[in-house]
Amino acid sequence: MNIKGLKGEIIENAPLGAMSWFRCGGKADLLFKPADAEDLSMFLQSWPANEPLTIIGGLANTIIRDGGIRGACVQLGKPFAKVSAHAKQHPREGGELDPVSGTGCSKHAYIEAGCGALNGNIAAAAVKAGIGGMEFLSGIPGSFGGALRMNAGAYGAEVKDVLLGVSALDRKGELHRMLLKDMHMSYRHSGAPHDYIFLSGILKGEAEDYKTVKARITEIKKKRNDTQPIKEQTGGSTFANPSAEALKRAGLPEGTRSWQIVEMVGGRGLKIGGAQMSEKHCNFMLNTGDAKARDLEMLGDELIARALDKFGVNLLKWEIKRIGEH
């Protein structure tokens, strides 16, 4: 591939599977890591409309299928990982996104984050600046762009609770800016156009004492360490929690979590090939060392089928993204 003027990195036969948190799966025909937003726009304008294009994030909550990915993949890396914290002030009124109306609220604070930034780094920047409300991001693996796309959440909060607005490029390389209301976010879902590539976002918080915010994030990290297999090869939560309506139809109490359903159908420790549901937290899927992507997907599908057979309702739905060819 040769697009004149591109500054970013182009990798052919990129080992995406090995780059993913599961450390298994196939390759991408081509991986492009743009140098900046202008570089990405140029690539999008030049890439043929009839050729496949896949947007990937930090590959945390993702299975790359063994057959790999055709066409091009785009990944936002270091140039898009900047995080800026602004305590005790509003975003500039009438500025790039104008995400809040009015000025002078001394407690209001905000973070500007590129979509290549790790969620944990955003949380750390907020703590350092004494900005509360974003501690939950420390419990979400992967990059901010992926968290935006799926309205990721943890510990009782989700992205839409703190989001003010985003900037994005469409498939033609044209820039768009959206406020939270334009995103149509719901549980583990963003209604933004599927072809939008998020570039950055603005998150709101509250200016607080550093020690208070630090204590909360320390508590979250301890809870995560105590309850999740974070030192294993895992992609985070495998299944989204079922809706209240689905639980009612299944005859289960409101608030029943996906891990409880996995346990009810004998999923704790269940293994297929090199894939296993964690004994420590049975909504976490592990690559025990020699798993193929198909092992991971077969294990998840087996649990989905068991839950449907037991309760007559489709209670388990993938939260992990599966992309590529079998």
* Annotated catalytic residue within 237, 258, 294, 306: 237
* Annotated catalytic residue within 70, 171, 177, 188: 188
The answer to whether residue 65 is catalytic is: no
Provide DSSP, 38-80: HHHHHHHHHS-TTS-EEEE-SSSSEEE-TT-EEEEEEE--GGG
Domains of the chain, with CATH numbers? 9-79 (3.30.43.10), 80-221 (3.30.465.10), 229-323 (3.90.78.10)
The answer to whether residue 188 is catalytic is: yes
The answer to whether residue 319 is catalytic is: yes
Task: Please state the rounded mean pLDDT for residues 66-84.
Answer: 97
Q: What pLDDT shows up at residue 107?
A: 57
pLDDT-based confidence at 104, cuts 50/70/90? very low
Q: How far apart are alpha carbons 278 and 91 in whole angstroms?
A: 43
Q: What is the pTM of this model?
A: 0.90
Q: How far apart are alpha carbons 253 and 281 in whole angstroms?
A: 20
Q: What pLDDT shows up at residue 53?
A: 97
